Chains A and B, each alone.
Chain A
Amino acid sequence: MAQKHSTRGAWLIVLASLIAIVICVYDYYSPATGLIGTGGVILVAGAAVLMLLASLVMALMPNRANWIQTFLVVSILLDIIGSSVAGYFLESPVIMAAEALALVGWLMNVIGDAADRSVEIDDVED
């Protein structure tokens, strides 16, 4: 059943995804990064595109089923963790910073959603 969910932090994840995509494109084509033409960068870019789509859903569809919210929250977290590890082994501080930004957005969303639900429950009890 559709329910209103928090959109807080979603735009931050969108921003982080876009930063990661831009950095990956730059890394992929610039010899100066040491990552030119590498599969690892494509992997992170792909993950960033998926995170962008998920965060756009989060931002633009506040009325979504609980299972979709759960799926988005879990998949974005896994995306952040995986991309952070990849960024670490790519020795790309910017990718890691973008993922840290996404994590902040994710926390804002999760905490915001929990707070909203708490308010709704309080309303019922009142």
Chain B
Amino acid sequence: MSKINKKAFVLGALGLAAAAAAVTFLPMERATAQDPNNDPPQVWDAFGGNQQAQKYSTATQITPDNVRNLKKAWEMHTGDVSSGAHSTSWGATPLFVNDTVYVGTPMYNIFALEPDSGKVKWKYSASGNDKLENQGLKNRGVAYWAAASPAAGEACQKMVYIGNMQGELHGVDAETGKACAGFGKNGVVDVNAWLTTNAKWKIGLIQPPAVYKDTLILGWAGNDWVYKVENPGTVYGIDARTGALKWTFNILPPDMVNQTGTANVWAGISVDPESGLAFLPTSSPSPNYYGGDRLKEMPYATATVAVNAETGEVKWARQLVHHDIWDVDINSAPTMVDIKKDGQTIPALIQATKMGFLFVFNRLTGEPVYPIEERPYPASDIKGEVATKTQPYVPVPEPTIPDTTPPVSKLGDFLSFGECSRWKARIRDEGRYTPPSTRGSISWPATLGGVEWGGGALDPTTNTYVVNSNMVPQIYTLIPREEANKLYGNALRARGGYAAQQGSAYGFKLDNFLNMWGMPCWAPPYGTLSSYDMNTGKLNWKKPLGVVQKWGFYMPDSWGSITIGAPAITKGGLIFIGASMDSRVRAIDLKTGNVLWKQIVDSPAVAQPAIYTYKGKQYVVFAVGGNGILTPRLADQVVAFALPN
């Protein structure tokens, strides 16, 4: 009996009030010889592994045959972790470039580390003058730029950049860790200064900028859900040397900025180095769950927008959710792929979305490589709201999640005396794009996805694309303003998932679809990992990923886990991924999807690892920081794995 079935069996036995105990003997596998070849030098110089967001390493030393021998090579702790009211959220991917590992922390420090020992070369602090507790403590790493023709003997010919939640972008000499005086004002660019319209809050620079030649392309994160009119989404092109503003791309139409806001780019941006196009995944406009005041078409919102990386001029745009009233932001950097189809090579990109769709476009023209259908979806019953009659649907590649909400969990329902099924019967559930309502509507998938902000990884030698995806319904309820004021007063946010959407006709409440014991009311799996052949659009395999851990107890493998983070692929035929609730990192066979190795780390590793070869040895390095959405377990660990000598 497989381990999965054993665990399921035990659960069933408990349900029948019987108890069983069993001991699992892990199979001892034959150790295989280490591949003696040395991998060619390769950098991991961007959040997505490269600017094309492929998350691919040419390293071949670690293979499916020897990965079981993988051991911790080094680890270090940054000290930058905080729980409670000011908890950290750390989804950084370390960079490996310039013979150094660079990692940004949620307290806005940059650590430069020795690649083979983790020893600190230097540390830079970008926390600024404001007390840290006044900031959200979030970070997804750093960006790196190097001058094409470096001036001999001058500083800052190679720079590392980190943003903070005060809207400051810091430029630091990659060699010394000193602020670059010629970048902005003494090494700091105040991006807030460029955003004066409806500036309701200071923008947060969580995601590092993309880099193209001497231009940084920078989006920002905001404070969703609280106002009807918020900071309008902008993307900036910035001179990598001086910090000067080169261009601004305004995502919202000018005549709509006093009706709405955001639609910003808070996720990663990818760049095609050949065409010089930058691809911007844009988010939904405010207020996120009621669109009655913003019915006019905004083609760049919840879209993928291709702009000239050096001018910001729009080349093409594709809206992937019309009139978004579900907050299903386009949330990951699209991945470049050269698709071999019908005897032709198509320069394409894959845009994974929270809706679980994989949109595949010709990256030069925006034309779909695999057809997009406009399918009808239900109408809103909210006064003033007009949900669009159709939404884009991609049948191929197969969506990562089904079209209908998962059934009620029998176990969750039984143990809550029918609470789950009673709740489900009360609310509106018509599958995808069920509009928010005052009685409560299922959001399927919810704001957690589908695919989260890590996106997928691509093996460009076979065009195998691997992506993790969540299966999480939530319940969205609109609360008429008068009632919201009675219940919550002027609060912008309140306990129980309330957000004001102040200025609009409705407040909003988000409920997790959990029973009285905190158990999911919907049937598993909760998270999957899928592999696709992008040349044909066919699904290779799809398997539950990770394990749900509650109060320390691990649930059956077949349930999978909600995941935040992304996979990385190696030429050696492996997928490395953390992301899951059970604080484990895994190596998975790229061909079969079988887990070949796993290791407990200090918390969920909510970003893809960096993979590099240094002095003949392949390293897989995770920044392990956690995210309160998954579990309260947070950490400050940077840990590298390698084969023993």
Contact = CB atoms under 8 A, between A and B. Distances in A.
Q: State whether these chains interact.
A: yes
B635 A31 contact: yes
Nearest to B20: A85
Contacts of B603: 31
A91 B7 CA distance: 10
Interface string B537-561: 0000000000001011111000000
B24 interface: yes
Contact of B23 (A39, A81, A93): A93
Interface in B224-255: none
Nearest to A90: B552
B515 to A, nearest CB: 17
A34 B604 CA distance: 10
A39 B21 contact: no
Given A39-B552, A90-B552, A90-B554, A31 B21 contact: no
A8 B304 CA distance: 73
Contacts of B602: 31, 36
Given A85-B20, A99-B21, A34 B583 contact: yes
A88 interface: yes
A96 B24 CA distance: 10
A88 B552 contact: no
Interface in B6-49: 7, 10, 14, 19-24
Interface in B630-644: 633, 635, 637
A38 interface: yes
Contacts of B554: 89-91
B574 to A, nearest CB: 22
A34 B551 contact: no
Nearest to A78: B19
B329 interface: no
A88 B600 contact: no
A121 interface: no
A33 B584 CA distance: 10
Contact of A39 (B19, B20, B551): B551
Interface residues of B, number: 25
A41 to B, nearest CB: 5
A73 B602 CA distance: 39
Contact of B551 (A40, A96, A100): A40
A84 interface: yes
A35 B552 contact: yes
B21 A81 contact: yes
A33 B23 contact: no
Contacts of B601: 31
A86 interface: yes
Given A31-B602, A41-B552, A85-B10, A36 B21 contact: no
A37 B633 contact: yes
Contacts of A88: 7, 10, 21-22, 24
Contacts of A27: 552
A32 interface: yes
Contacts of A86: 553
A37 B603 CA distance: 12
A34 B635 CA distance: 12
A124 B19 CA distance: 39
B310 to A, nearest CB: 45
Interface of B: 7, 10, 14, 19-24, 549, 551-555, 582-584, 600-603, 633, 635, 637
25 contacts: A31-B600, A31-B601, A31-B602, A31-B603, A31-B635, A32-B600, A34-B549, A34-B582, A34-B583, A36-B602, A38-B549, A38-B552, A40-B551, A40-B553, A85-B14, A85-B19, A88-B21, A88-B22, A89-B7, A89-B554, A89-B555, A90-B554, A91-B554, A99-B21, A100-B23
Task: Give the 7 A-B CB pairs with smallest separation, nearest first.
Answer: A38-B552, A40-B552, A84-B21, A39-B551, A89-B553, A34-B600, A31-B602
Interface of A: 27, 31-41, 43, 81-82, 84-91, 93, 96-97, 99-100
